[in-house]
């Protein structure tokens, strides 16, 4: 179908060429109007236009419309991608701020926990120090009491020996008392100072 149409179109200018040549020779002028030539030109133009309108223009218009549709889709996709990118950037910013807040909160909690642990450890160390000090004081007091008791026993032992010596000497009662009291005063003097 196409070949026959193209062949017909090729024959039309060929058949009109001799007519055009004859008319041109007869009248010859640049500004003269040749009605036969004008008629054939209009006919050929209308035939070519009809063929183009039937076969070429729909395809060309279809291609143009497809191209426009494709460009519109690309523009729409680009706008959608831009909007998505903006949303992702905003989400990223929000996540960064949220993470920054969580990090600051965690650091604050860690500082508070460390301060609390330090306070607890200091308090525990103070308690242990106070307990050790109290235990040491109690031990010193017990040792002192034990030593004083030992000194008293020793003093009593010495008093007994002194009394024994006094009994052997057979002194009278006033002398015995006086000697025992002097002896106890001598023994108690250094013990009372300690």
Reduced 3-state DSSP string for the chain: CHHHHHHHHHHHHHHHHHHHHHHHHHHCCCCCCCHHHHHHHHHHHHHHHHHHHHHHHHHHHHHHHHHHHHHHHHHHHHHHHHHHHHHHHHHHHHHHHHHHHHHHHHHHHHHHHHHHHHHHHHHHHHHHHHHHHHHHHHHHHHHHHHHHHHHHHHHHHHHHHHHHHHHHHCCCHHHHHHHHHHHHHHHHHHHHHC
15 CB-contact burial (10 Å; exposed 0-12 / middle 13-18 / buried 19+): exposed
- Residue 15's alpha-carbon distances to 22, 24, 40, 42, 106, in angstroms, are 12, 15, 10, 15, 96
Q: Which tens digit of pLDDT belongs to each residue from 21-71?
A: 555 555 556 788 889 899 999 999 999 999 999 999 999 999 999 999 999
Percent of the residues in the chain that have a pLDDT greater than 70, as a whole number: 77
Q: What mean pLDDT is predicted for residues 187-191? A: 67
The answer to whether 44 touches 12, Cβ cutoff 8 Å, is yes
Domain boundaries, the chain: 146-193
Average pLDDT of the chain is 82
Rounded mean pLDDT, 134-162: 83
Of the listed ranges 77-86, 116-125, 174-183, the least confidently predicted one is 174-183
The pLDDT value recorded for residue 1 is: 53
Task: Place 177 in a pLDDT band, splitting at 50, 70 and 90.
Answer: confident
The more confidently predicted of residues 95 and 181 is 95
Contacts 24+ apart (CB under 8 A), 184-190: 184/155, 184/159, 187/151, 187/154, 187/155, 187/158, 187/159, 188/155
Q: Give the model's pLDDT for residue 168.
A: 67
Whether the per-residue pLDDT at 18 is higher than 60: the answer is no
* Entry pTM: 0.36
Average the pLDDT over each of 11-20, 100-109, 113-122 and give the range with the smallest value. 11-20
């Amino acid at each position: 179908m196409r070949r026959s149409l193209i062949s017909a179109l090729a024959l039309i200018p060929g058949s009109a060429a001799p007519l055009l040549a004859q008319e041109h020779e007869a009248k010859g002028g640049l500004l003269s109007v040749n009605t036969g030539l004008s008629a054939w030109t209009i006919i050929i133009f209308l035939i070519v236009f009809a063929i183009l309108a039937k076969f070429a223009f729909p395809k060309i218009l279809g291609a143009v419309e497809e191209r426009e549709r494709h460009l519109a889709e690309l523009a729409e996709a680009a706008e959608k991608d831009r909007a998505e990118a903006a949303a992702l950037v905003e989400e990223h910013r929000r996540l960064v701020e949220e993470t920054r807040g969580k990090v600051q909160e965690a650091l604050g909690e860690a500082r508070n926990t460390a301060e609390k642990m330090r306070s607890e450890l200091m308090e525990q160390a103070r308690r242990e120090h106070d307990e050790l000090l109290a235990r040491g004081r109690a031990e010193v007091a017990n040792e002192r009491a034990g030593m004083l008791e030992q000194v008293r026993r020793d003093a009593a032992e010495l008093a007994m020996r002194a009394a024994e010596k006094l009994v052997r000497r057979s002194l009278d009662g006033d002398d015995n008392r006086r000697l025992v009291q002097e002896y106890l005063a001598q023994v108690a003097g250094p013990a009372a100072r300690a």
